[in-house]
Amino acid sequence: MIKFVRVDHRLLHGQVALSWFGATNANCILIANDSVPDDPIRKATIKMARPTGAKLVIMSIDKSVQQINSGIADKYDLMIVVETIHDAYRLLSGLKDKPAELNLGGTKATEETESLSTAINVTAADKDNIKKMTDMGVRVYIQQVPNSSSKTVSF
């Protein structure tokens, strides 16, 4: 069962590992990303951030969708972390059973982005993907840590 889905360009780090993992009552963290499975350095770094007692799975977005849709992940309470809003859209659009919410935790600022909050920066394509996910019935919101206030995002 999917308990929590988060966009965070840092993927797994202290804030996600300590704050969100405990707050979501997940027992498995899925890093859905197309480059990390083939990058031994990023993979090792992410493994070091794994909270004690958590199962950690790192796989491509397509494989993540396939595994979740097949039911093989049903035995876990999943916390899923993706790197970008586009990755979140790819993941959610492929899932048979969509999660109710998507947490925006951190996206990189570039010359092409506009700031929605101190940690969330979006492009025109990101806005389009957020609208598509909202149209799927997914509440997209910004919230850095579990005890801070959340802000729903829509376009």
Tell me if 2 sits within 8 A of 68, measured CB to CB. yes
Considering 3, 5, 8, 13, which one is annotated as catalytic? 13
CA 35 to mean position of chain CA atoms: 15
Per-residue three-class SS string for the chain: CEEEEEEECCCCCHHHHHHHHHHHCCCEEEEECCCHHHCHHHHHHHHHCCCCCCEEEEECHHHHHHHHHHCCCCCCCEEEEECCHHHHHHHHHHCCCCCCEEEEEECCCCCCCEECCCCCEECHHHHHHHHHHHHCCCEEEECCCCCCCCEEECC
Active site residue 13: yes
Active site residues: 13
